[in-house]
Amino acid sequence: MTRPPAPKSPSRWPSPGVTKAEYEELAAFRYRLRLFLRFSEQAAREVGLTAQQHQALLAIMGFPGRDEINVGELAERLQIAHHSAVGLVDRLVAQKLLLRKHGTEDARQVYLSLSARGRKILERLSVAHREELRRLGLPL
């Protein structure tokens, strides 16, 4: 999978003028985005997860073309360090939300998939998130 380019640093951004209407559009978008993120954090808490744990379940289930990923891919999707992903996985496995298996060709590779319990919780959260996106007028 190709990694998207790193965002430009603010000092390298183009400096054309920004209209008042563009500022208003950006501010409205950021507001709707923040409303959604706040909703997401609260919904995760209501099912006993942190926002990051919810994001991990979604990243695994939503990985293109596969139902399992390795720890490095999870770290990339969450934009966290590998060792942080390992700790997150340990907590999700302890909660019986994830299954962990070692690769057959390389035992150092660890593959992650959702348990039945993890899938059930993620589906519940995803339905609620889909409805909230619709309510906010944001595309899915």
Domains, the chain, ranges and CATH?
21-136 (1.10.10.10)
Q: Are 73 and 63 in contact (CB under 8 A)?
A: yes
Lowest mean pLDDT among 7-11, 56-60, 89-93, 136-140: 7-11
CA 121 to chain centre: 15
- pLDDT number for residue 59: 98
- pLDDT number for residue 107: 84
pLDDT at 9 over 90: no
How large is the average pLDDT for residues 1-24? 74
Spatial distance between the Cα atoms of 36 and 82, rounded to a whole number of angstroms: 27
